Amino acid sequence: MLTCIIRYQIDPTKKAQFETYSRNWGQAIPRNGADLIGYYAPHEGSSTLAYGIYNIPSLAAYETYRERLSADPLGRENYEFAQKEKFIQREDRTFLRCASLPHGVSK
């Protein structure tokens, strides 16, 4: 299992648009094959840093998921919304694997 962490730098004056974008992904991502952990908008501290986090079985599954997401009507609409509103200034994707499993196992 891989965890994809998307780090966004957003326009702090367009936080509401990012939150709309996040809610849309909350519907589209799970139905297209990824296990969405959540989207996180700025609250305290940085006013420009936001995250999207989801799990995917493998990089091959990620490629299939991306194809499905780009064909999904809400997925396409959300991409277009982000382009039109220009609230995302930078987006970086990192794939990590959990190195601490199993959690809570004592010796």
User: 49 has which bridge partners?
Assistant: 9
- pTM for the whole structure: 0.89
Residue 13 lies in a domain: yes
Residue 103 lies in a domain: no
Which H or E run contains 29? Answer: helix 15-31
Residue 101 lies in a domain: no
Kindly list the strands in the beta sheet with 2-10, ordered across the sheet, starting from the edge strand earlier in the chain: 35-40, 49-56, 2-10, 88-96
Structural domains of the chain, count: 1
Q: What is the CATH number of the domain that holds 39?
A: 3.30.70.100
Residue 106 lies in a domain: no
Residue 91 lies in a domain: yes
User: How confident is the model at residue 73, as a pLDDT?
Assistant: 97
pLDDT in tens, the chain (107 residues): 999 999 999 999 999 999 999 999 999 999 999 999 999 999 999 999 999 999 999 999 999 999 999 999 999 999 999 999 999 999 999 999 999 878 776 66
Residue with tokens 């509103």: 85
Residue 92 lies in domain:
2-96
